Each structure stands twice: as structure tokens, then as C-alpha cells.
A = this chain, B = another copy of it.
Amino acid sequence: MKLPAPVMLGKSRIEALSDGVFSITMTLLVLKLEVPEVMHHSSNEEMLHQLLAIGPEFATYVVTFLIAGGFWFLHHLTFHFIRQVNGMLVWINLLFLMMVALLPFSAGLMSHLLIHPVSQLFYYGNQLAIAVLLNVHWFYAKSMDVLESSDRRQIRRLTIRIAVTAAVFPACLITAVFLPAWSWMPLPVFLVGGAVFESR
């Protein structure tokens, strides 16, 4: 018995699952921020000192939230052009979401051991895996011939943005090996560059 070709599916449910995984991941990041154990009668100075002590965790929360938001936005843009999905594209997206859901763990590792090489390699490695799978997703989608055909220049622009995303995290990884304390630098450079690129 020859079975029929796989069905083409609407995109609304993979979008809904993605929005769910992204919103939960981004909200769970804050659970890593532990409320400092202080007393009612502690002075304002002690209290501020305690809050400043969780500064690295707070910075990790902000940076990871914004990176995750950026990935969500690029993923959203790809589905602006994709009209339909098949089984293979669903599985690529599930692997992508599996790496996204790992972010609270990587962020926890990062914020507890801020300048430790191994935690940095794990953190940026997780981000790189997300970026690579986003590229795989987008190249496969383009090869499937299910895109809106009207916007060739917009599609080329998005391809560049997604490819650049996969370049920033190797830059972080290399910096982490040689200058652990400065490994964050490629991120603001990329964010500012992206904003300039966006506003052109």
C-alpha cells in the first residue's frame, strides 16, 4: 500500500505552542531571582546591600529576556511569510523550542558563576544552538516553497538578520575563552547594530 503524501497543516498551532514556550521561558527566568533573606528590622543600607548582591542575577535576567525576545521576534517574522507547515518543519520547531526551554537552566548557571569559563560556554552554546536551529528552520521553510512570494527583498533581509544572529554567539564564545569578563560585549554591539539596521 502506497501511503499518501504528508498533510500540509495550518500554522496557527505551532505558533501557539511557540508563543506558549517563549512566554513561559521568559517568565520563569525571574524565578531564578531569589528574594533576599533579610529581617524586618534590618536597616535600609543592609537591604540595599542585599539587593545589590543579586545584581549579577538581575543583569542575567534582563539580558536573557531580551535575547529570548529577539529570537521570538525573528521566529515571528519567519511565520509572517510561511503559509503552511509540514511534519519536518514541525520537528525542526520542536528542537528549536527544546533549546529555548533550556534557557532558564543556562541563565541559572550563568548568574551563579558569572565569569566562570564553563558556565559561559554552556550559556552561549545554548544561545548558539537556538540561532543555528532558527537558521535551519528558515532555510528549510524557504526550500519548501510555502512562502508568500510577493516580498522577495523582505525575505532576503530576514535571511541576513537570522544569519547574523548565528554569528554573534560564536563571537561571545571566543571572547569568553580569552576575556571572560568581557564576553557580553558582542551582544550590545549586535543589539545596537540591529537597531540601526532596523531603522534604515
Give the contacting residue for A26; candidates B48, B97, B115; CB below 8 A.
B97
Shortest distance in angstroms between A33's beta carbon and chain B's nearest beta carbon? 5
Measured CB to CB, the closest approach of chain B to A25, in angstroms, equals 6
B101–A27 touching, CB < 8 Å: yes
Asked if A185 is an interface residue, CB under 8 A from chain B, the answer is no
A4 contacts B153, C-beta separation under 8 Å: yes
Contact count band on A: 35 or more
Q: Mark A43-55, 1 if CB is under 8 A from B, else 0.
A: 0100110010000
Near B by CB (< 8 A), chain A positions 22-71 give 22-31, 33, 35-36, 38, 40, 42, 44, 47-48, 51, 61-62, 65-66, 69
Contact in complex: A122, B51 (CB < 8 Å):
yes
Q: A41 to B122: give the CA distance in the assembly, Å.
A: 17
Residue of B nearest to A47 (CB): B118
Would you give 10 A-B contacts (Cβ < 8 Å), ordered by A?
A17-B23, A30-B105, A35-B105, A35-B109, A51-B118, A61-B102, A62-B98, A65-B94, A69-B97, A69-B98
